Structure 1
Amino acid sequence: MAMEGSRHLWTTAIVASATLAIVGAEIAALRGSHYVFKPLTTLLILAMAQRLPRTGSADYRRLVVVGLLLSTLGDVFLMLPFDGFVFGLGSFLLAHIAFLAALRKRGGWWRARWSLIVYAVIASLVFAQLWPGLPRELKVPVIVYVIALAGMAAQAASVWREHPGRATRVAALGGAFFVASDALLALDRFSAPIPMASLWVLATYWVAQWCIARSVGDEPVSVRTRS
Structure 2
Amino acid sequence: MSRPDRAPAPATAPAAEDPRGPRASRAARLLLGAFLLAAAVDLVSLLAGAELGHRIAKPLLMPLLAAYAVARGGPRLLTVALLFGWGGDVFLLLDADWAFLVGMGSFAAGHVCYLVLFGRRRTSPALGALYAAALAGTVTALWPDLPAELRVPVAGYSLLLTAMAYRASSLGLLAGAGGALFLLSDTLIATGVADWPQPPVPDLWVMLTYIAAQFLLTEGALRTGYGERRTTV
Q: 1 or 2, which has the higher helix percentage? A: 1
Tell whether 2:223 aligns with 1:218: yes
Q: Greater RCO between the two (CA within 8 Å, min separation 6)? A: 1
- Counterparts of 1:64-213 in structure 2, within 5 Å, are 64-83=78-97, 84-104=99-119, 107-108=120-121, 111-157=123-169, 159-160=170-171, 168-190=172-194, 191-213=196-218
**1:11-90 equivalences in 2 (<5 Å):** 11-28=32-49, 30-52=50-72, 54=73, 61-83=75-97, 84-90=99-105
Q: CA deviation at 1:197?
A: 0.7
Q: Secondary structure at the match of 1:192?
A: coil
After superposition, the Cα gap between the structure-2 partners of 1:32 and 1:117, relative to the gap in structure 1 and judged at 3 Å, is same
Is the 1:49–1:216 contact (alpha carbons within 8 Å) kept by the matching residues of 2?
A: no
Residue type at the aligned position of 1:170: L
Shift of 1:125: 2.4
Structure 1: unaligned runs, 5 residues or longer? 161-167
TM-score, structure 1 normalization: 0.80
How big is the shift at 1:86?
Answer: 0.9
Once the two structures are TM-superposed, the CA of residue 27 in structure 1 deviates from its matched residue by: 4.6
Greater shift after overlay, 92-101 or 1-10?
A: 1-10
Report the TM-score, using the length of structure 2 for normalisation. Answer: 0.78
Structure 2 stretches lacking a partner, 5+ long: 1-17
Secondary structure, counterpart of 2:221 in structure 1: coil
What is the CA-CA distance between 1:218 and the residue it aligns to?
Answer: 2.4
Matches of 1:20 and 1:89, distance apart in 2: 24
- Using a 3 Å threshold, how does the CA distance of structure 1 residues 203 and 49 change in structure 2: closer, same or farther? same
Aligned-residue identity in percent:
32
